Amino acid sequence: MQPPRWLYRLQQRLSITTHEGIAVLTLLGLFLLGLTVQHVREQQTPPLAVDSVTARSSEGEGPASRGAAGPTPESPLRLNEATAEDLQALDGIGPALAGRIVEYRTTQRPFQRPAELKRVQGIGPATLNELRPVVTVSVPDE
């Protein structure tokens, strides 16, 4: 099979063989594919956590309907001291996500700042922005 004319001209200008030209084009194609995959990953929005969907869609359920007032910016919830039940008082946090937050802080380390909530599976940028005003951290004395 004869290489395309443009490849032949490229080979002449770069003084490379046919096999080297094909190798260069293959590497270029792989590089562009990698850039495309990286771009797609950056543009993807993380999936909504199942418990945040059910918490928002189930009206009349949860801590807020039982008469418990949720945390406010004036009285934020302390992430490192809150129980799973306390965490469920936050908008968008259900039992599964509250359990993952407690598990993260006990198996990894206590939270140093609210932005570290992003490390918990199921908490994306939108959820973090909702939680940021109503949560705080208190770093334990070492």
Give the whole-angstrom CA distance, residue 57 versus residue 31: 44
- Check the CA dihedral 106-119-73-53 and report its sign: negative
User: How far apart are the C-alpha atoms of 87 and 81, rounded to whole Å?
Assistant: 10
H-only helix segments in the chain:
5-14, 18-43, 50-57, 84-87, 95-107, 125-131
Q: Which CATH number fits domain 50-136: 1.10.1040.10, 3.40.50.720, 1.10.150.320, 3.30.310.50?
A: 1.10.150.320
Q: What is the mean pLDDT of the chain?
A: 79
Domain ranges of the chain: 5-43, 50-136
Stated pTM of the model: 0.49
Question: Per residue in 68-111, pLDDT tens?
Answer: 567 887 888 898 888 999 899 888 889 999 999 999 888 888 88
